[in-house]
Amino acid sequence: MLPHELVASARVPGHDAELHCYRHDRDYTIRIGRVELMSTRVHGSEELLAELAFARLGARPAPRVLVGGLGMGFTLARALALADAQATATVVELVPAIVDWNRDLFGHCAGHPLRDPRTRLVVDDVGAVVRAAQAAYDVILMDVDNGPEGLSRPRNERLYGDSGLAHLRRALRENGVLAVWSSADHYAFDRRVRRSGFEVEQHHVRARRTKGPRRTIWVAQRKGSAG
């Protein structure tokens, strides 16, 4: 059996957690401790995050997309595949090393979405980017940490609180769509998002589309004028 080879490590800004990138044959995983956060083998639910959001949005020319969390690039890649040639996709990643690993190690697994001319990369806290936005995006895809329950960085939970949801709603254009990925159900978040001025659908999907652990995706559409 081929070993899992540690190829890179990095600290999470603002937290003591350390991320480890492993290679196993032609695949890569990123872990925190013994917990696997993401893998190039398992990315169906990340792609479904984009698919469900775009299906709810419907046909819209030149959509402006915000992707919270680059990860291994599969959410960004699927969003780009679903959008037209005039779209822009801003991807916000907190950990600079994640960007480097996408460029140097495993970006080919998702088709190198960072090389797409429609991609705009921002290395920052996605919360800060969202707070600065006003009716800026048609689609916001949140694939940060483990979802509403922070694992690699507990401060990430603020993105999914009442204030965070208010900022996300304000950052959307009229009828814009917010989609949130989670490794599991989160009943407190479900209640919050439903009382935050969105029309909400909750979806249960599989990590590999047709098999694997169950994941939860909320698709929340903003109705009414932005402001």
User: DSSP labels for the chain?
Assistant: ----EEEEEEEPTTSS-EEEEEEETTEEEEEETTEEEEESS--HHHHHHHHHHHHHH-S-SS-EEEEE--TTSHHHHHHHHHS-TT-EEEEEES-HHHHHHIIIIIGGGGT-GGGSTTEEEEES-HHHHHHT-SS-EEEEEE--TTSSS-SS-GGGGGGGSHHHHHHHHHHEEEEEEEEEEESS--HHHHHHHHTTTEEEEEEEEETTBSSSSEEEEEEEEE-S---
pLDDT confidence of residue 158: 82
Q: What is the pLDDT of residues 157-205, one digit of tens each?
A: 688 999 999 999 999 999 999 999 998 999 999 999 999 999 999 999 9
Q: What is the mean pLDDT of each run of 10 residues along the chain (227 residues)?
A: 87 83 95 90 96 96 97 97 98 96 97 98 96 97 80 65 94 97 92 94 95 95 71
pLDDT confidence of residue 150: 57
pLDDT confidence of residue 129: 97
- For the chain, what are the domain ranges? 42-222
Q: What CATH topology corresponds to 42-222?
A: Rossmann fold (3.40.50)
pLDDT confidence of residue 225: 56
pLDDT confidence of residue 4: 85
| This prediction's pTM | 0.94
pLDDT confidence of residue 224: 67
pLDDT confidence of residue 151: 53
